Amino acid sequence: MTRPIRLEIDLSAIRHNFLFTRQRAQAKRLFAVVKANAYGHGILDTAKALADLADGFALLNIEDAVALREAGIDRPIALLEGPFDAAEAAAMGEYRLCGAVHSLEQMAWLAKGSAARPAEVWLKINSGMNRLGFRPEQAGDALARLRAEPAIRPAAIMTHFATADEAYGVDEQWRDFATLARDSALPVSAANSAALLRHPHTHGDIGRPGIVLYGASPFEDSTGAALGLRPAMTLSADIIAVQQLRNGDAVGYGRRFVADRDMRIGIVACGYADGYPRIAANGTPVAVDGAASGTVGRVSMDMLAVDLSHLPQAGVGSRVELWGPQAPIERVAAAAGTISYELMCAVAARVPRSLRA
């Protein structure tokens, strides 16, 4: 492919970020969260990079779990939403998978399995997120039912925090969950990336680092680099044309940007069809050959524009980092009114990928 756009994945950064998290986590084990194709970084490549470091992996789709097993990944694998039907419940035992159980329907599917190879389950408690899980007052009965089924082995109790990354904190959710966890005598899994960095009393037995593995901060007021993380994903493209603007000239669809002075802009081979956010504001940060600049006008399907007025040396062929070490993904996301997670997951398949070990 000759279109000058690229996505570079730094596997050494992912390893660094895991070890960074390990040093700060009091959890006995860390399951690397590799759902959504490892947040866009490539699930198999990421799992192989962490195979000698992570205590296990956590993901959503059983087909991804099976692919990891068939690729030789032997670490424990947890399905964060459990099985989606009876066939998946049966496959959990076959492929040695553990997983959340958050409903009576899942219990019924799992109960049909073999007592010779019981499925390991993590009892999911709805402590306030109100997505999945048994409410605290239902937890005792749910655990008793699990323990009564020969084909099921309760292996952990889990919950998920709604505001571990915010000032509101986790105390309200943790209060009820901690009591249930103590009474269950099961290993505890509660801490996501934000909790692993800010709420050590929640770390329990199994931490679930996600966004931090990929070098981005879970907190709005910080970048990953400021925390000591290394960005693992760099999206960049080249300038394919240069335009000279006069005062009053507009750029792009909708005349969203009108020059208030003579300007020089570069047209970059990246657009929203590549995963760059169309709603990114004027001035969204980029780095042109390592120098700071910003976007100009509305992002098109295949192109966007950047300001070169202060960069006379830049021109056709100059490399524009759209996010990465020089243009933090958190800042790009903020300019688009979203979060770094979404940008990572949205990079299109048509963008050529390369790996750096």
**Active site annotation includes 272:** no
**Active site annotation includes 28:** no
251: nearest Cα among 201, 295, 190, 313? 295
What's the pLDDT score for residue 89? 96
What's the pLDDT score for residue 1? 60
Which alpha helices (H) appear in 29-158, and where do they start and end? Answer: 35-39, 43-50, 62-70, 86-94, 104-111, 136-148
Q: Binding site: what residues are annotated?
A: 131, 301
Phi then psi dihedrals of residue 216, to 5 deg: -105, 155
65: nearest Cα among 119, 109, 112? 119
Distance of CA 74 to the CA centre of its chain: 22
Global pTM exceeds 0.85 = yes
Q: Quick: pLDDT tens for 43-94.
A: 999 999 999 999 999 999 999 999 999 999 999 999 999 999 999 999 999 9
Give me the residues paired with residue 235 across strands.
Answer: 7, 323
The CB density around residue 17, as the number of other CB atoms within 10 Å, is 28
SS3 123: strand
Task: Name the active-site residue from 35, 39, 276, 341.
Answer: 35
Distance, CA of 89 to CA of 99 (rounded, Å): 9
What's the pLDDT score for residue 125? 98
Helix 43-50 × helix 11-24 angle, to 10°: 50
User: What residues have CB less than 8 Å from 68, skipping those under 6 apart?
Assistant: 43, 44, 47, 57, 77
Question: Which residues of the chain fall below pLDDT 70?
Answer: 1
Q: Binding site for substrate: what residues are annotated?
A: 131, 301
Give me the residues paired with residue 239 across strands.
Answer: 268
Task: Name the active-site residue from 28, 112, 168, 253.
Answer: 253
SS3 110: helix
